[in-house]
Amino acid sequence: MVNVLVVDDHIAVTEGTKAILETCNDIIVDTLSPPFSIDMIKDKDYTKYDVILMDINLGLDQNGIEVSKLILKNQPDCKIIIYTGYDIEDYFIEAIKSGIYGAINKNTTKQDIVTYINHVLNGDIVMSLELCKRSLKTTTKPPREKVGYTERERNILELLGEGLTNQEIADKLFVSKRTVEYSITEIFNKLNVSSRAEAVLIAKSEGLL
């Protein structure tokens, strides 16, 4: 019997994944959803689980890769797979170096998830062919030029990291929602990303947050 833990900030994802995987007779799934904290996740006893599927955007100050590092520091035998709807090719090498076993897209099929889990149980690192191709392309790209950020853009990046909406950011900074939307577009262009989660992850990796 394989014991799997799904850690995600959306109950629909944890329960949906549980329902899908438990159609396999040899898989038992537990879930961990909010309310939770970084310390609660970090200090949990994972010895009963064979594999952990860890969301990358947990709605906390630290993302799933950073939280996984904290878990592995205390419990190095944990087999963690990043479980995400985002592209993480910029962070895949970092994840592997941290002791994470790979990444699975939430939109993949049940059979693929089960296959990945079985590979991890055998000590293999997992990544999709598509992610592998994109990662190889990424490694051949010249490094992104360092660009400057205005004080407003840095403030907005910090608030994006806290999970605030555009309107909440506007209210906090006493500017219009349109101004926030324009600034976020500028931030995306400077970071060469297309989503808030990517912007926050890259900003943290570059020491902007």
Residues 6+ apart with CB under 8 A from 194: 188
Instruction: Provide the 3-class DSSP secondary structure of residue 159.
Output: helix
Tens of pLDDT along the chain (209 residues) come to: 999 999 999 999 999 999 999 999 899 999 998 888 999 998 999 999 999 999 988 888 888 889 999 999 989 999 999 998 776 665 677 788 889 998 888 888 899 899 999 999 988 887 666 666 655 555 444 455 566 888 999 999 999 888 888 999 999 999 999 899 999 999 988 888 878 877 888 888 777 76
Parallel/antiparallel/unpaired status of strands 27-32 and 51-54:
unpaired
Dihedral sign, CA of 207, 170, 67, 5?
Answer: negative
Do residues 145 and 135 touch, judged by C-beta distance below 8 A?
no
Looking only at Cα atoms, what is the longest distance across the chain? Answer: 55
Report pTM: 0.64
